[in-house]
């Protein structure tokens, strides 16, 4: 299960010439800073496993509840980015970011690979989509399955960190995350037809990612 009732889900690419610096910044400054915010519990960064997955990186921050993501502690960080953050995020590509409520989260633990599926739906589909996600969690070698719906207002706020950036795309409205022990376990999970039957609508944007780094609660220095 996820470590909280809300998440920040971020999909992004990075300019090739900034890759080495992106890794250094993300691991030594950015993730410690974010996970150090009151109410944030864990951060995880994933990298694409195949050429069909775009953009290359997926980062997931797990928080106590949605008000944490709407609150002043997080906003203060977003409105006072470090010089290093400004330099690196200026080279982000194809960024989609959702501040989301977790509607469903089930499973015994974290997996080494993750399927992300972005799509549209309306509130009436929450129950049927939740049932579909719970069924996915029972698949062989799947360790967890989760359903999130973005808070559109919170996800769309243009903070100082986002000022002047042209890479930022509209936030996804709904998304499912399925974790597993290996990529083969995710090959037949949450097919488009099943999602459509549960009330979702496309386009269905899929990505297959491998866990690179995980950070739990820490004070940022």
Is 167 within the bounds of a domain?
A: yes
Q: How many domains does the chain have?
A: 1
Residue 25 lies in a domain: yes
User: What share of the chain in percent tops pLDDT 90?
Assistant: 94
Is the residue at 210 inside a domain?
Answer: yes
Inside any domain, residue 153: yes
Residue 203 has pLDDT above 80, yes or no: yes
* CATH assignment at residue 148: 3.30.70.100
Q: What is the pLDDT of residues 75-101, one digit of tens each?
A: 999 999 999 999 999 999 999 999 999
The distance of Cα 93 from the centroid of its chain, to the nearest Å, equals 16
As a whole number, mean pLDDT of residues 168-191 equals 96
Residue 78: inside a domain, yes or no?
yes
Task: Tell me the C-alpha distance between 21 and 28, whole Å.
Answer: 10
- 204 in Cβ contact with 195 (< 8 Å): yes
Within a domain: residue 221?
no
What is the pLDDT at residue 221?
43
Give me the mean pLDDT over the 123-137 stretch.
Answer: 97
Grouping H, G, I as helix, E, B as strand and the rest as coil, residue 150 is strand
Domain holding 180, by residue range, is 6-216
pTM: 0.95
The answer as to whether 157 is a domain residue is: yes
Give the DSSP H/E element, type plus range, for residue 216.
strand 201-216
- 212 neighbors 41 (Cβ within 8 angstroms): no
The verdict on residue 74 lying in a domain is yes
Strands 201-216 and 40-48: antiparallel
**Other beta carbons less than 10 A from residue 187's beta carbon:** 11
């Amino acid at each position: 299960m996820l470590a909280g009732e809300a998440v920040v889900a971020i999909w992004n690419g990075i300019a090739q010439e900034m890759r080495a610096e992106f890794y250094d910044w993300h691991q030594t400054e950015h993730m410690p800073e974010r996970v150090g915010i009151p109410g944030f519990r864990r951060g995880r960064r994933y990298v694409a496993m195949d050429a069909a997955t775009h953009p290359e990186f997926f980062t997931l921050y797990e928080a106590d509840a949605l008000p944490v993501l709407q609150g002043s502690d997080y906003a203060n960080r977003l409105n006072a980015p470090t010089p290093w953050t400004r330099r690196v995020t200026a080279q982000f590509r194809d960024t989609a970011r959702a501040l989301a409520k977790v509607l469903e989260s089930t499973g015994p633990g974290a997996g080494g690979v993750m399927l992300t599926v972005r799509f549209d739906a309306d509130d009436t589909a929450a129950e049927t989509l939740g049932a579909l996600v719970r069924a996915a969690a029972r698949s062989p070698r799947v360790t967890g399955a989760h359903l999130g719906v973005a808070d559109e207002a919170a996800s769309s706020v243009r903070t100082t960190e986002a000022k002047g950036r042209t890479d930022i795309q509209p936030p996804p409205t709904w998304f499912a995350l399925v974790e597993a022990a290996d990529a083969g376990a995710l090959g037949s999970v949450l097919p488009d037809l099943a999602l459509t039957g549960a009330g979702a609508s496309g386009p269905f944007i899929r990505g297959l990612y491998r866990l690179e780094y995980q950070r739990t609660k820490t004070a940022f220095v």
